Amino acid sequence: MTLNQTNISSSASPGIKPCNNSGATFGAGLSKAHRWGVANRRTKIANITLNIISEFDAVIFDMDGVITDTASVHAAAWKKTFDAYLRSRERVFRQPFKEFTSADYLAHVDGRPRYKGVQAFLNSRGISLEFGSSGDAPGRETICGLGNQKNSLFNRLLEDGVKTFDSSIALVKNLRRHGIKVGLATSSKNGAAILSTTGTTNLFDTVVDGNVSERLGLKGKPEPDIFTAASDNMRVPYGRAVVVEDAATGVWAGIAGGFALVIGVARSNNAGELYDHGADVVVRDLAEASVDQIDRWVKARRSCGGAQPQGDPRRKGNL
């Protein structure tokens, strides 16, 4: 069985989405492009690093839900924040209480910068608040106040520790052993602290987190800025870099940036949503990926016409 937009089998060999209307699936079953037993040869052209025996030169990972098991912690902090606020509106404005759900998290918050997530969710409920400022006290009735409340709760929940996904760390280490550069791009302003806590900082050639984005004026997902910045830092062309994401907004950003391949990680049973937003491949866990497999997926993607151009990611068949 190959992956499609409605099912994932853990025993399946994930494949590239069909690039024509014939229903053919690319990726699974392709002969290996090469063996990695040979020395990994690299060359530099005009300050750009190229791996001359591979289809790609770098992989850029999202953090929450891909490298670290913190997506559930974020979701819990958001739920406590929004449910408390919605309860207060019920008391003050007599508005019927409708809880913040996992569907709300995935649709409006997941992958977005903190304040943009607050704004997107409140907009979905027809609630308009002043933006405020980043220095607003947690819980103040502004976009920033609610976002800061969420971050305060998140940091308290983190005191119980942060876990990483073993399969993701194994893939990162394997990529590095094969001379593939590895970057991390996250909307979280807690990125550096979480990597330090988990002892994984040194695994990445570059880290672009929410603090870096704020300092450089980068736009958040679904804009591709954090991924293109990571690729630029590693001196790798976007068409030679792979993006790994678990959020629909992050997948959209990867497509918008014109990257060689976008891999979706469906830990929340959201494979269909990831495909709808443009993912080329969706897996349940990164144990299903390897250096050789990613190489084959990239080659198959290129056989479908190459990496997607930069610009509007809403390709035919996608949102």
DSSP state of 26: B
166 is catalytic: no
Best CATH choice for the domain 42-69+163-303 from the list 3.40.50.720, 3.40.50.620, 3.10.180.10, 3.40.50.1000? 3.40.50.1000
More confident residue, 208 or 50: 208
Backbone angles phi, psi at 261, to 5 degrees: -160, 145
Count of residues in the chain: 319
How much is the pLDDT for 67?
97
How much is the pLDDT for 268?
84
285 is catalytic: no
How much is the pLDDT for 44?
43
The tens digit of pLDDT for each residue in 84-131 reads: 999 999 999 999 999 999 999 989 998 888 999 999 999 999 999 999
How much is the pLDDT for 193?
86
- In b/e form, how buried is each residue of 188-206, taking b as 16+ CB within 10 angstroms? bbbbbebbeebebeebbbb
Given 62, 104, 209, 225, the catalytic residue: 62
Is a pLDDT exceeding 60 seen at residue 295? Answer: yes
The tens digit of pLDDT for each residue in 44-80 reads: 444 554 555 689 999 999 999 999 998 888 899 999 9
Of 156, 146, 148, which Cα lies nearest the Cα of 88? 146
The tens digit of pLDDT for each residue in 149-164 reads: 999 998 888 878 889 9
pLDDT bin (cut points 50, 70, 90) of residue 316 is very low
More confident residue, 1 or 207: 207
pLDDT bin (cut points 50, 70, 90) of residue 41 is very low
The tens digit of pLDDT for each residue in 231-283 reads: 999 999 999 999 999 999 999 999 999 999 999 999 988 999 999 999 999 99
**How many of the other CB atoms lie within 10 Å of CB of 115?**
19
* Residue 311 to residues 28, 257, 259, 263, 284, Cα–Cα distance (Å): 29, 7, 11, 19, 28
> Rounded to an integer, what distance in angstroms lies between the CA atom of residue 197 and that of residue 33?
38
How much is the pLDDT for 155?
87
The tens digit of pLDDT for each residue in 8-30 reads: 333 333 555 555 332 322 222 22
Given 57, 64, 209, 295, the catalytic residue: 64
Residue ranges per domain, the chain? 42-69+163-303, 71-158
Average pLDDT (183-211) is 94
